[in-house]
């Protein structure tokens, strides 16, 4: 039983982690909590659904096209909303409220076009395998494997590419980065692309694990924020570890708590961190 | 017709009260509360549950208001010393947990079945349509709350709140205990939401967790943003504007090819869009003073 | 009579990779006007932030009136008489200039919520007094005509003045000014120098960060020179100005 929950927790945790990376990058660089981030997960899942089911494309192709489109929408929003607000030097509270507006638009846009019910991808039904008495579904293996690959790619992006290094510079001190000749707007657009397409990818993986629903992001928003805060704001590696911890705790908590209260576990962890270690558990190891 | 207007007026009045609580927090103090509905729920359920448990209505209602305020304080303690977004995150989580508890603790709340059968103020004494009385009761409450809030925000106490909204570093440099003021505001704002919750229960006569979905919070937000944050009069106007939009689109329903789910989602999309557009281009709201515009904070 | 009001003892503050304040010690005597000078990034503002409680020092002690204040929250330090202004002005934009000023006085009855209904008479009396004082100070700073403007609409220099004017409303024992003359026109700056000296005669103590060497020389009794997080030189303005290290720091540094 416990082992089963651990497996589930690792899978969900890796999905939360993947979403949390983008959330923490925005938080670190642009300095605000983006409440629309989780809805981009749902958006990614639905775009993949459109490609896979409505247009009949193969799921792998749909997955990749969907994350590119989702990421591009993230960049588009930078042009439409975030960049003008940056130019105005808007305070962070207005950005937060705007992000809630965007969340409402996306979520209800999905309901408008696809209704409120659950949907599934067009996939061969694969039975799970049993390993050491624990059932692991193929979808779980795929979700975890893909999440792992993406996180490794992000690591390489941040460590070894010029844009990745520039992102780290921005997250340290955006004004200093500007003075030292970094094209701040361009780097920020890359950041949106990476962060939001990761969210889209996480959404598709989560939908594989569960189902495609318009409010699927909503139930991951709080766990993702908990992961970000736990890992220290602006720290993608912290967000990954945070995501795993949150995913595992949520699943294992079902041993003692009704599973409806999983969200409460995220909230509780977050409050404990805020009270005792508001800078997160990995302070000083930014990006 | 008049019955319809009274029914609509009632819900508008309740939402105006609900939004006045948020305006104290966000409009005057700059606190982002994305879980306002949680306090509405606490007010409603406490009033109903205690009353059903045999307590007099007034005591039940008072308990609802106090408990909502108490939870406002609890939510504030871990968050209000930190940056503004933490409050937003924790409140949104808190309100969802409240809803999940209402949904799952059947022994107490009857879960999704909801609660009905409880007293309403003076119900036995009213010889005419009770809704008329409730309308009156709601608007007298609204007027009293409005006047008290106006006195508060125009006092030295309110001046401190505004300074916290503008820049809390200045407030503490001048010896104001910023944390204490924020807690006071969150208690007061949540208590007002709790009171609105009791009124909502009286109006609905039947409450269930679906009445307290996160969207209710954002109705209050759009009221504040439309009416102009930090403008109590504007909030009341904003509540009417939202109601007008809501009823208007409902009337339109018959002439449009969308089904009711689509219409509902479209409505919320428009509200989301308005939030974005107003925060970008008209942060002072429809009625806000022009001079306040463009003052980069 | 001339004993110390503020004592900073070997205070240290490290940011991620920068040691901004490094075992810094400083003594400010009662009723003295002390100038704090040093190159950009020397750690002056950070020292102010440590003294007034916006940052917590990694180590060291801070005493005010012989009381240790290291663990005291900012607002309490202000209440015991230590008030600061900010280098990057913090006008309360969507409040009028007069409201900015009226925020100042400490111990206002009307700042307690229940008093608003219980002691309305006392409150309006206090308000009248505060207003009278506010108008007087605004008049001195040539800003009386601006009293009903939103503070966000003021010019940079006016915001700087408002910042100082507002902190005078509290009747501080010690005032810490972070570049009070920056952006202020020379005539008014000269007037402010005289005013600061007058306030000192009435018992106030000053610690002033300023890059304008002629002005800070005129206003202060002693200068402390800060470099790389440490006070490395103290003395009369004339002595300090002569030191080659100080000359280096300000060489070609404009004003
Ligand atoms: N919050 C902070 N985080 C990281 N580094 C900081 C922070 N505040 C100051 N610093 C750094 O500490 C050093 C000292 O800065 P400080 O503002 O105290 O200098 P200063 O002497 O006031 O300079 P100036 O004359 O330009 O105002 C600088 O290198 C600055 O970049
Ligand atoms: Mg400085």
Indicate if the pLDDT at residue A226 is higher than 90. Answer: yes
Q: How far apart are CA B18 and CA B203, in angstroms?
A: 14
| B268/A108 CB distance under 8 A | yes
pLDDT for res B243: 93
**pLDDT, tens digit (0-9, with 9 covering 90-100), for B215-242:** 999 999 999 999 988 889 999 999 999 9
A111 touches chain B (CB under 8 A): yes
Measured in Å, residue C209 CA sits from the centre of ligand 1 at 13
Indicate if the pLDDT at residue B294 is higher than 50. Answer: no
Q: How far apart are CA A154 and CA A163, in angstroms?
A: 12
Indicate if the pLDDT at residue A153 is higher than 90. Answer: yes
Q: How far apart are CA B86 and CA B31, in angstroms?
A: 10
Say how many residues make up chain B. Answer: 297
Q: Mind telling me how many Å the CA of C49 is from chain A's nearest CA?
A: 20
Q: Does C11 contact ligand 1 (Cβ within 6 A)?
A: no
Q: Which helix (H) or strand (E) holds C209?
A: strand C205-209
Go through the domains of chain C in sequence order and give each one's CATH number. 4-91+154-252 (3.40.50.300)
Residue spans of alpha helices (H) in A173-253: 174-179, 184-209, 218-231, 236-253
C148 touches chain A (CB under 8 A): no
Closest CA to A189 of A93, A74, A107: A74
Indicate if the pLDDT at residue B296 is higher than 50. Answer: no
Interface predicted TM-score (ipTM) = 0.92
**pLDDT, tens digit (0-9, with 9 covering 90-100), for B171-209:** 999 999 999 999 999 999 999 999 999 999 999 999 999
Measured in Å, residue C211 CA sits from the centre of ligand 2 at 10
The tokens for B197 are 């919750």
Tokens 């008093």 found at = C115
pLDDT for res A287: 46
What is the band of B295 on the pLDDT scale with cuts at 50, 70, 90? very low
In sequence order, which residues have a C-beta less than 8 Å from that of residue A23 and are 6 or more positions away? A34, A37, A195, A199, A224, A225, A228, A239
- Contact A196/A41 with Cβ under 8 angstroms? no
- Contact A166/A25 with Cβ under 8 angstroms? no
Mean pLDDT for B146-154 is 95
Mean pLDDT by 10 residues, chain C (255 residues): 81 87 90 92 92 91 91 93 91 92 91 91 92 93 91 88 92 93 88 89 93 90 90 87 80 47
Among C16, C39, C45, C246, residue to substitute to test ligand 1 (most atoms within 8 Å of Cβ):
C45
**pLDDT, tens digit (0-9, with 9 covering 90-100), for B49-102:** 999 999 999 999 999 999 999 999 999 999 988 888 899 999 999 999 999 999
The tokens for A73 are 């929408």
Percent of chain B with pLDDT strictly greater than 70: 97
- Three-state DSSP at A222 gives helix
Q: Does C129 contact ligand 1 (Cβ within 6 A)?
A: no
Measured in Å, residue C5 CA sits from the centre of ligand 1 at 25
Strands (DSSP E) contained in chain A are 129-131, 134-136
Indicate if the pLDDT at residue B255 is higher than 70. Answer: yes
Q: Which helix (H) or strand (E) holds C24?
A: strand C18-29
Residue closest via CA to ligand 1's atom 26 equals C40
Positive or negative, the CA dihedral A34, A39, A43, A45 is positive
Residue spans of alpha helices (H) in B154-259: 156-173, 178-204, 215-227, 232-252
Calculate the average pLDDT of chain A. Answer: 90
pLDDT for res B217: 96
Residue closest via CA to ligand 1's atom 2 equals C15
- Contact B34/B215 with Cβ under 8 angstroms? no
Positive or negative, the CA dihedral C187, C188, C191, C193 is negative
In sequence order, which residues have a C-beta less than 8 Å from that of residue C86 and are 6 or more positions away? B169, B170, B173, C163, C178
What is the band of A171 on the pLDDT scale with cuts at 50, 70, 90? confident
Rounded to an integer, what is the distance from CA A61 to the centroid of its chain? 20
Between strands C174-178 and C82-84, the pairing is: parallel
Q: Does C100 contact ligand 1 (Cβ within 6 A)?
A: no
- Contact B48/B67 with Cβ under 8 angstroms? no
C201 touches chain A (CB under 8 A): no
Closest CA to A263 of B5, B96, B249, C128: B96
pLDDT for res A182: 85
pTM of the model: 0.92
**pLDDT, tens digit (0-9, with 9 covering 90-100), for A237-271:** 999 999 999 999 999 999 999 988 999 999 999 99
Q: How far apart are CA B164 and CA A51, in angstroms?
A: 50
Q: Mind telling me how many Å the CA of B136 is from chain A's nearest CA?
A: 34
Residue closest via CA to ligand 1's atom 28 equals C41
Distances (CA, A) of B170 to A66, B165, C82, C91: 48, 10, 13, 8
The tokens for C111 are 């700042």
Closest CA to B268 of A54, A215, A44: A215
C73 touches chain B (CB under 8 A): yes
Between strands A134-136 and C230-235, the pairing is: unpaired
The tokens for A282 are 């990995």
In B, what residues contact C, Cβ < 8 A?
151-152, 155-157, 159-160, 162-163, 165-167, 169-178, 184, 230, 291-292, 295-297
Q: Which residues pair with A215 in a beta bridge?
A: none
Measured in Å, residue C40 CA sits from the centre of ligand 2 at 7
C88 touches chain A (CB under 8 A): no
The tokens for B48 are 């109903």
Percent of chain A with pLDDT strictly greater than 90: 64
Indicate if the pLDDT at residue A284 is higher than 60. Answer: no
Distances (CA, A) of B291 to B159, B252, C138, C144: 19, 37, 22, 19
Buried b (16+ CB within 10 A) or exposed e, A112-134: bebeeeeeebeeeeeeeeeeeeb
Indicate if the pLDDT at residue A120 is higher than 70. Answer: yes
Closest CA to A236 of A43, A39, A27: A27
DSSP one-letter string for A45-57: HHHHHIIIIIS--
Indicate if the pLDDT at residue A151 is higher than 60. Answer: yes
- Contact B68/B194 with Cβ under 8 angstroms? yes
| End-to-end alpha carbon distance in chain A | 36
Closest CA to B276 of C174, C100, A95, C47: A95
Task: List the C4-15 sheet strands across, edge first.
Answer: C18-29, C4-15, C59-64, C67-68
Q: Which residue of A has its CA nearest to B85?
A: A33
Name the DSSP letter for residue B252.
H
Q: How far apart are CA A55 and CA A39, in angstroms?
A: 23
Distances (CA, A) of C78 to A92, B117, B284, C171: 27, 55, 33, 10
- Three-state DSSP at C45 gives helix
Q: How far apart are CA B279 and CA A93, in angstroms?
A: 10
Helix axes A218-231, A236-253, angle to 10 degrees: 120
Between strands C67-68 and C59-64, the pairing is: antiparallel
- Three-state DSSP at A237 gives helix
pLDDT for res B292: 53
pLDDT for res C2: 54
Indicate if the pLDDT at residue A104 is higher than 50. Answer: yes
Strands (DSSP E) contained in C65-172 are 67-68, 82-84
């Amino acid at each position: 039983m416990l082992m089963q929950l651990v497996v589930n927790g690792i899978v969900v945790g890796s999905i939360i982690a993947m979403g949390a990376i983008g959330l923490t990058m925005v938080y670190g660089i642009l300095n605000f909590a983006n409440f629309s981030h989780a809805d981009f997960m749902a958006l990614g899942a639905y775009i993949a659904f459109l490609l896979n089911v409505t247009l009949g494309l193969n799921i792998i192709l749909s997955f990749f096209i969907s994350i590119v489109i989702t990421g591009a929408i993230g960049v588009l929003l930078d042009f439409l909303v975030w960049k003008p607000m940056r130019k105005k030097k808007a305070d962070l509270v207005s950005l937060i409220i705007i992000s809630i507006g965007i969340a409402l638009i996306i979520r209800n846009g999905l309901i408008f076009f696809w209704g409120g019910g659950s949907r599934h991808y067009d996939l061969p039904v694969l039975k799970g395998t049993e390993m050491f008495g624990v059932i692991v579904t193929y979808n779980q293996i795929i979700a975890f494997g893909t999440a792992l690959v993406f996180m490794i790619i992000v690591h390489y992006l941040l460590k070894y590419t010029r844009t990745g290094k520039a992102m780290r510079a921005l997250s340290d001190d955006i004004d200093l980065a500007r003075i030292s000749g970094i094209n701040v707007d361009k780097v920020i657009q890359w950041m949106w692309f990476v962060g939001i397409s990761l969210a889209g990818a996480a959404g598709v993986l989560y939908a594989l694990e569960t189902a495609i629903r318009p409010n699927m992001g909503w139930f991951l928003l709080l766990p993702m924020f908990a992961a970000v805060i736990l890992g220290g704001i602006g720290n993608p590696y912290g967000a990954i570890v945070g995501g795993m911890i949150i995913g595992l705790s949520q699943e294992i908590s079902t041993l003692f708590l009704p599973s409806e209260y999983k969200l409460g576990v995220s909230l509780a962890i977050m409050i404990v961190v805020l009270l005792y270690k508001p800078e997160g558990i990995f302070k000083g190891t930014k990006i | 017709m008049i019955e319809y207007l009274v029914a609509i007026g009632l819900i508008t009045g309740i939402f105006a009260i609900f939004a006045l609580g948020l305006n104290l927090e966000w409009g005057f103090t700059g606190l982002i509360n994305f879980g306002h509905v949680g306090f509405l729920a606490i007010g409603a359920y406490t009033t109903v549950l205690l009353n059903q448990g045999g307590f007099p209505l007034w005591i039940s209602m008072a308990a609802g208001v106090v408990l909502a305020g108490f939870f406002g304080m609890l939510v504030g303690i871990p968050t209000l010393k930190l940056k503004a977004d933490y409050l937003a995150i924790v409140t949104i989580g808190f309100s969802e947990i409240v809803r999940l508890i209402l949904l799952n603790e059947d022994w107490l709340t009857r879960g999704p079945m909801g609660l009905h059968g409880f007293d309403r103020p003076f119900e036995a004494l009213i010889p005419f349509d009770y809704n008329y009385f409730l309308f009156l009761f709601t608007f007298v409450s609204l007027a009293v709350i409005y006047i008290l809030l106006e006195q508060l925000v125009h006092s030295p106490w309110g001046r401190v709140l505004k300074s916290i909204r503008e820049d809390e570093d200045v407030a503490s440099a001048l010896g104001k205990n910023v944390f204490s003021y924020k807690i006071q505001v969150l208690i007061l704002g949540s208590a007002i939401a709790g009171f609105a919750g009791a009124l909502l229960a009286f109006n609905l006569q039947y409450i269930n967790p679906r009445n307290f979905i996160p969207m209710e919070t954002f109705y209050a937000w759009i009221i504040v943003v439309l009416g102009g944050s930090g403008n109590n009069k504007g909030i009341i106007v904003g509540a009417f504007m939202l109601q007008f939009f809501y009823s208007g689109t409902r009337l339109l329903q018959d002439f449009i090819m969308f089904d009711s789910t689509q219409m509902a989602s479209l409505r919320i999309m428009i509200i989301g869009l308005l939030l974005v557009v107003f925060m970008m281009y008209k942060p002072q709201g429809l009625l806000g003073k022009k001079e306040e515009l463009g003052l980069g904070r | 009579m001339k004993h110390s009001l503020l004592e900073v003892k070997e205070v240290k503050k490290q940011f991620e990779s920068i040691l901004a304040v490094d075992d810094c010690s400083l003594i400010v005597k009662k009723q003295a006007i002390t100038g704090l000078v040093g190159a950009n990034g020397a750690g002056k503002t950070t020292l102010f932030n440590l003294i007034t409680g916006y940052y917590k020092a990694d180590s060291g002690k801070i005493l005010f009136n012989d009381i240790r204040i290291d663990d005291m929250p900012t607002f309490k330090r202000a209440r015991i008489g230590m008030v600061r202004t900010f280098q990057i002005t913090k006008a309360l934009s969507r409040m009028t200039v007069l409201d900015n000023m009226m925020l100042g006085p400490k111990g206002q009855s009307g700042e307690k919520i229940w008093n608003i209904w219980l002691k309305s008479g006392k409150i309006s009396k206090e308000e009248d007094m505060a207003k009278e004082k506010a108008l007087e100070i605004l008049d001195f700073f040539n800003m009386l005509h601006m009293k009903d403007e939103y503070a966000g609409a003021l010019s940079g220099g006016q915001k700087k003045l408002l910042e100082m004017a507002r902190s005078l409303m509290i009747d501080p024992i010690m005032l810490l000014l972070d570049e009070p003359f920056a952006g202020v026109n020379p005539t008014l700056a000269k007037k402010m120098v005289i005013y600061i000296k007058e306030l000192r005669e009435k018992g106030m103590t000053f610690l002033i960060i300023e890059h304008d060497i002629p002005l800070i020389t005129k206003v202060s009794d002693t200068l402390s020179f800060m470099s790389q997080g440490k006070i490395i030189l103290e003395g009369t303005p004339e002595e300090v100005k002569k030191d080659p290290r100080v000359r280096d720091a300000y060489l070609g540094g404009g004003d």
